[in-house]
Amino acid sequence: MLWIFSIVSFFITEPNLSQIRETYRSALTNESSVNTLIEITQPHVNQNASSRAFYATAKALEARNSSWVSTKVSSAKIAYNQLNTSVLKSPNDGEIRFLRFSFESNTPSLLGMKAHLKEDKAFLIKNIKSTEPLWSVMKVFFSNCSDLSPSEKKSLITR
């Protein structure tokens, strides 16, 4: 009987990645959605790498939106550590690699949080496909990314 309860509770608490992705898209331009993204991903941080990566990205967006330097730095550190853990847990996940690449690409150099830019860029150029759930976001990001050459941009956005 206990094992049935465990299975049922696992599926009830499993994060809805479609909802998380939609909230992420909204959080890119809407500050109030950042808090929602944190709320829906934080309980699932230890369940899977994707939830952890989206939680980390929410913390990165929180850092971007904060006017307090201490909040910016502490949220960015959380984002960096959580994104790295996500990639360690799921190194072949293009979505997670994209989230870390976009974070590191937008982080000021003085914070020392750009250690994986080359590695993630190479991974994305080799592996990312236009069938990714976040492709519309990725395509816009790649088009504007200063860490990509014009030929790399073209290669990525014309898939």
- Give DSSP secondary structure letters for 67-91: S-HHHHHHHHHHHHHHHHHHHHH-T
Provide the pLDDT for residue 56. Answer: 98
- What band does 2 get if pLDDT is binned at 50, 70 and 90? very low
The pLDDT of residue 6 is above 60 = no
- Model confidence pLDDT, tens digit, residues 83-98: 999 999 999 999 999 9
Please list, residue by residue across 83-109, b when 16 or more beta carbons sit within 10 angstroms of its beta carbon and e when fewer do: bbebbeebeebbbbbbbbbbbbbbbee
For 124, the token pair is 């994305």
- Chain Cα centroid distance, residue 13: 21
Residue 147: DSSP 8-state: T
Phi, psi dihedral angles at 112 (to 5 degrees): 70, 35
Domain boundaries, the chain: 17-157
Q: Which residues contact 40 (CB under 8 A, 6 or more apart)?
A: 15, 19, 20, 23
142 neighbors 157 (Cβ within 8 angstroms)? yes
The pLDDT of residue 7 is above 60 = no
The pLDDT of residue 131 is above 90 = yes
Tokens 């980390």 belong to: 56
Provide the pLDDT for residue 107. Answer: 96
Provide the pLDDT for residue 14. Answer: 65
Provide the pLDDT for residue 13. Answer: 58
- Model confidence pLDDT, tens digit, residues 48-85: 999 999 999 999 999 999 999 999 999 999 999 999 99
